[in-house]
Amino acid sequence: MADTLQLELEIRRNGLSKRDVAKALGLSEQGFLLKLNNKTEFKASEIRKMCELLHLPDNSLFFTMKSELYSHSLSD
């Protein structure tokens, strides 16, 4: 599962919009939102592109366990 909150934060930190990221990935906005909200899964190529685009050191935000997301949201 993607860590939606952290990914949205990284998108904003990089001065991008969700529309910008969707376009860079070759996705519609709706298609990107489905992936961002864990309704569908990101492809490996999309994860790689997002890591480059958002200057992420690794892909750990895309492989978060559901329990980690829950505990993360409680601590924020």
Q: What does the pLDDT read at residue 4?
A: 92
**Contact indicator for 1, 64 with CB cutoff of 8 Å:** yes
Q: Which tokens sit at 18?
A: 């969700």
Half-sphere exposure of 28 (CA within 13 A, CB side): 3
pLDDT of 4-50, one tens digit each? 999 999 999 999 999 999 999 999 999 999 999 999 999 999 999 99
Please determine, for residue 54, whether its predicted confidence score (pLDDT) is greater than 70. yes
pLDDT-based confidence at residue 68 (cuts at 50, 70, 90)? low
Contacts of 19 (CB under 8 A, 6+ apart): 29
Which structural domains are found in the chain, ordered by start? 4-75 (1.10.260.40)
Task: Report the SS3 class of residue 9.
Answer: helix
Half-sphere exposure of 35 (CA within 13 A, CB side): 21
